[in-house]
Amino acid sequence: MKILILQDRLRSGGTERQSLLLGRAFAAAGHEALLLTFRPGGALGAPEPAPGGLRRASLQAFDTGLDWLAPGLSRRVRRLGPDIVLCMGRMANCRAGGLQAVLPKAAVVATLRTGKPLPWLFRRSLARVRHVIANSGEARGALVAGHGVPADRVTVIRNPLVFPPPAGEGRDDSVRARFGAGPRTTVLLCVAMFRREKNQRELVEMAAGLPAGLDWQLWLAGDGPARAACERAAARLGVAARVKFPGLVADPGPLYRAADIAVHASWSESLSNFLIEAQARGLPVVACEARGVRECVVPGRTGWVVARGDRGAFRAAVARLAAEGPAARAARSAEAAAFAREAFDPGRAVAAHLELFARLTSSVGS
């Protein structure tokens, strides 16, 4: 199959990492795969390390700074003649309906991977594309009940693990030492872009109210426009020494190996890549309610999901996990890792995509 993946830009978010993972896997399976971005560059925009795999191209000759600008898109895709167009991200999905009209013999597949309100063009595309992939059952429900997409045109394929943990890896105390975390320090970790909807500031404010006797640190990895507000909040609340900002990291694996609990307060999700990755590294989860979050955990065993705004419940769950003994902590860690590696296995997700694509191309040809 000729598979075209469409993305506005390769910034450092979860959707962009999923685009690269899927594209590389499609190419490795023998399909002709091209990742076409509107803008060149981005944090993940470095060239592929080896020839013969996933190909990449950009529509903008130079970076205009405009995520929505896709010059010559219809002409380009018509010339490429793909069998499948997989639209990843909001800007690409806004173009999906128009591309289906341009490519009547192809299957244009939209994706719902966000909890944000959908732009009008995105909603219009949902009615025009051949199929829609939702990355959680709750996202599928929103498509069917909220946007009128027929149930038989929506398939749930959950996000695969982008960073599958290598076998036999252990705790990384060197990272803890770098940030001044001692053996008894409970390290809370969140890895996400600093955007308003990711709500890291709420994590700072909740952590600041943890029990006085608890030795804790909060690590907020990533970068973005909302970081400065989090730094100011930590200073204002008197916890600047406890809140660490590791910055944007290409591979967060060492942070997962050094932390104790994954924490999450985003209010705009459909399925959290971070919570999946953290559990695969053995971290239990404490998260605020958001779309798809309950599908990321085994409630009450690998993760605790609390009502949004219930800071007391959040702090109580963190304190309870911090107080667990070594045996209970090891058992919970093993269960979290086994659950995440099985439920979000990359091979299974790639196979589900390819099976869907084969069915869609077969139905077009019949």
Q: Which pLDDT value is given to residue 160? A: 93
Q: Which pLDDT value is given to residue 170? A: 73
Q: Which pLDDT value is given to residue 172? A: 78
Give CA–CA dist 16/1, Å, rounded.
22
Q: Which pLDDT value is given to residue 22? A: 96
Q: Which structure tokens are listed for 114?
A: 């966000």
pTM: 0.87
Residue ranges of the chain whose pLDDT lies below 50:
none
List, in order of start, the domains of the chain with CATH numbers: 2-160+345-365 (3.40.50.2000), 173-343 (3.40.50.2000)
